[in-house]
Structure 1
Amino acid sequence: MLSQSLSPAVSKLIREDDAPVEWAVSPGLVDYPLAVEAMEARAAAIATGEAGELVWLLEHPPLYTAGVSSRDDDLLDAGRFPVHRTGRGGQFTYHGPGQRVAYVMLDLNRRGRDVRAFVRGLEQWIIGALGEFGVPADVREGRVGVWVERKGPGWSREDKVAAIGVKVRKWVSFHGVSLNVEPDLGHFTGIVPCGIDEHGVTSLVDLGVPATMDEADEALRASFHRVFGPTVAAR
């Protein structure tokens, strides 16, 4: 495991009461519209105090999502997979089998009410999870997501390994992150991922780390504890 140092702003994301976040993992492929409906309902219930915080891990069937900043020109193959317009931040992303999507529903009223720190926390969460596999990763100025540097004889490039797109309503977060474990990377060619066409997309398996989805989930949960606090299995 790589060591992880959190900035003072990010360290304030842990609730003072140290209440655990529910942690749920759905088997199989979850329909995107149904997932969004469930996520919206849970976020609303958190805002009114009727439900606790939740991180929901799942996989979707192949699809593209368009965030509020998406440009139509970045959808290169509109007929390839279903396209869902969504209210999260960011541009076009791909979701599909082999990619771990984590929908993060946290009450930022209890975590500092700092959206920028929250996004930094999501970045550190993913970076820490990749560190569990010995994969060095970081963020880049002007680029959304988490990136790895790749080198070979006479070449080097930076590829995105995880995407981030969130929305906050009444200081409750929803949508979240997606970590490429072993998706079909060819599916990303139907879009310009997050509007960035001068860099590539990679995954843990593509980087030579033969991680299973269960192992990725374990790494995500361990890193989440360090950044956001304890979790408990969802009821």
Structure 2
Amino acid sequence: MSQSPPETVEWRAESDQIAYRDALAAMDARNRAIGEGEASELVWLLEHPPVYTAGTSADGAELLDPRFEVVEAGRGGRYTYHGPGQRIGYVLLDLKERGRDVRCFVHSLEGWVIATLADIGVESWRAEGRIGIWTRDIDGREAKIGAIGVRVRRWVTMHGFSVNLAPDLTHFTGIVPCGIDEFGVTSLERLGIELAPEAFDAALHARVGDFLAALDGKDCALP
């Protein structure tokens, strides 16, 4: 296990839900402040009320049932659902100080989530040609348990990842998640694991030093 994140990286974990538009505005402001040297880097863990978010590659045909608010997120990717029971990690780092390698950042971010899930007993992986974090569902098929979507502005990252702890999985049926309709979506709860957000946050925290070390060392093969 890794050490705590350096003091230059703020770790913030919210217990209350935060509206997506409010979080987006706060993240945008923090991104600019980091870029101007006026604020520290940030890992921000939270949960949103139900919302569909559209990435820069979103296809309107994949918005099947807009039963919740739809917000243009500004990140890469297509449509994603966020809601209660899903833990969101917004990761705002200054890549000018960490190698200026966006591909390494994304790979390291995926590796952080995969290692954390392994620590709580869930094997997961990347899948060639499919964005996100994948695992084996209860029917034996591959299913998505986590989503990845990032934006980099002037070498400062924003957005990040989401992991399904115990969301209402029927809410995902209003969209084609990330443009992939051949595979389903699953959660820790569906896999028989009950885990409070605080426990998941602690598992992430235990691995954040490894994530930052992999990023800074450009050891992007881990895990």
TM-score (norm: length of structure 2): 0.91
SS at match of 1:64: strand
Distance 1:219 1:84 in 2: 30
Distance 2:149 2:65 in 1: 21
Q: Deviations over 1:164-186 (max 9, x none)?
A: 00000010000111011111111
1:72 corresponds to which residue?
A: 60
SS at match of 2:32: helix
Return the offset for 1:146.
0.3
Return the offset for 1:57.
0.7
Distance 1:19 1:64 in 2: 34
- Residue from 190, 194, 210 that aligns with 1:226: 210
Structure 1 alignment gaps of length 5 or more: 5-14, 230-235
Is residue 171 of structure 1 aligned with residue 155 of structure 2?
Answer: yes
Task: Provide the aligned C-alpha RMSD in A.
Answer: 1.6
- Residue from 145, 148, 158 that aligns with 1:161: 145
Q: Deviations over 1:43-99 (max 9, x none)?
A: 101001111100111100001000001110110002x00000121001100000010
Return the offset for 1:151.
5.9
1:29 corresponds to which residue?
A: 17
2:38 corresponds to which residue?
A: 50
SS at match of 2:103: helix
Q: How does 1:103-142 map to 2 (within 5 A)?
A: 103-142=90-129
Is residue 102 of structure 1 aligned with residue 92 of structure 2?
Answer: no
Distance 2:105 2:188 in 1: 24
- Residue from 205, 221, 225 that aligns with 2:189: 205
SS at match of 2:151: strand
CA contact (8 A) 2:138 2:191 kept: no
1:61 corresponds to which residue?
A: 49
Return the offset for 1:149.
2.0
How many residues were matched structurally?
A: 211
- Residue from 89, 96, 108 that aligns with 2:76: 89
Matched letter for residue 60 of structure 1: H
Matched letter for residue 84 of structure 2: P
* Higher deviation after alignment, 215-224 or 87-96: 215-224
Matched letter for residue 203 of structure 1: S
Percent pairwise identity: 54
Distance 2:116 2:8 in 1: 19
* Higher deviation after alignment, 18-27 or 133-142: 18-27
* Higher deviation after alignment, 213-222 or 164-173: 213-222
Structure 2 alignment gaps of length 5 or more: 214-223
